[in-house]
């Protein structure tokens, strides 16, 4: 797929990995829809940067854990741009706690945003992709879905389910020329990771063979690769600096 002129929706794209993905798509010629929940200023800043590149962009507020808000998000995308060529399901939250002390709300909120949000966005986008003759769906999971991590049972359950969902839909949707893939980042230089206590973060980095965190642009590169390729579907690309190998 030549990305020039393509319409891309990236959920949770006002900051972090989502922001890097959105800007990377714009640099390759795509028009990008920015989605956010709280930080409108950050979302508008991404839109501004995309427009400076000569691409079209808008910021749409929507909580992906709410199916009605997702429906309105997708409808507005279609009304404004006419189609969605690439959907990147990036929106996610963490509520870290051991299962013993985790509340029902902490479990439920993470599952709703990370897993249900991915499902809702795909469900609402699917009819339009089928009608237009194809598209790309790229889901953002996590390396911890494959290797486990202390205190993240809710997050890992959601991210592991996303991998299963990716593979199931790759088989279901191939006949419509819709390719579904997944990127599983390791620990990355984002606001979320920077909130980890320094001592714990130092220990995490020591376990990574490359001895550093990923940069958001390095995750974005893999998403672009999947968006441009027309014969990869049902795959999970792990970008973790070798962390998962060290866990074996």
Mean pLDDT of 1-11: 94
Which of the four CATH numbers 3.40.50.720, 3.50.50.60, 1.25.40.10, 3.40.1190.20 does domain 7-246 have? 3.40.50.720
Predicted local distance difference test score (pLDDT) of residue 192: 77
Model confidence pLDDT, tens digit, residues 80-139: 999 999 999 999 999 999 999 999 999 999 999 999 999 999 999 999 999 999 999 999
User: How far is residue 82's CA from residue 120's CA, in Å, rounded to a whole number?
Assistant: 19
Name the residue among 9, 19, 62 with its Cα closest to residue 38: 62
Judge whether residue 74 has pLDDT over 80.
Answer: yes
Name the residue among 176, 185, 150, 137 with its Cα closest to residue 8: 137
Name the residue among 105, 203, 204, 91 with its Cα closest to residue 154: 105
Predicted local distance difference test score (pLDDT) of residue 30: 98
195-216 per-residue burial string, b: 16 or more CB within 10 A, e: under 16: eeeeeeeeebeeebeeeebbeb
Judge whether residue 248 has pLDDT over 90.
Answer: no
**pLDDT band, very low/low/confident/very high, at 246 (cuts 50, 70, 90):** confident
Judge whether residue 1 has pLDDT over 80.
Answer: no
Q: Could you tell me the two tokens for 182?
A: 């997944």
Kindly list the domain boundaries of the chain, sorted by start residue. Answer: 7-246
Does this model's pTM top 0.75?
Answer: yes
Model confidence pLDDT, tens digit, residues 12-26: 999 999 999 999 999
Active site residues: 155
Judge whether residue 247 has pLDDT over 70.
Answer: no
């Amino acid at each position: 797929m030549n990305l020039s002129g393509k319409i891309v929706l990236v959920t949770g794209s006002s900051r972090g990995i989502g922001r890097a993905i959105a800007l990377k798509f714009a640099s390759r010629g795509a028009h990008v829809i920015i989605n956010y929940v709280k930080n409108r200023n950050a979302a508008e800043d991404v839109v501004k940067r995309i427009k400076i590149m000569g691409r079209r962009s808008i910021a749409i507020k929507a909580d992906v854990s709410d199916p009605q808000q997702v429906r309105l998000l997708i409808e507005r995308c279609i009304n404004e741009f006419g189609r969605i060529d690439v959907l990147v399901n990036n929106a996610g939250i963490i509520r870290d706690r051991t299962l013993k002390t985790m509340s029902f709300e902490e479990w439920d909120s993470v599952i709703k945003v990370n897993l249900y949000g991915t499902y809702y966005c795909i469900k609402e986008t699917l009819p339009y992709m089928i009608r237009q003759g194809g598209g790309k769906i790229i889901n953002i999971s996590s390396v911890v879905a494959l290797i486990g991590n202390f205190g993240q049972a809710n997050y890992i359950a959601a991210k592991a389910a996303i991998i299963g969902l990716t593979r199931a839909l790759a088989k279901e949707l191939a006949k419509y020329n819709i390719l579904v893939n997944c990127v599983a980042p390791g620990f990355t230089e984002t606001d979320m990771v920077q909130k980890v206590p320094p001592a714990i973060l130092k220990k995490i980095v020591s376990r990574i063979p490359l001895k550093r965190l990923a940069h958001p642009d390095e995750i974005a590169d893999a998403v672009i690769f999947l968006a441009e390729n027309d014969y990869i579907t049902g795959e999970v690309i792990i970008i973790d600096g070798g962390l998962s190998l060290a866990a074996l």
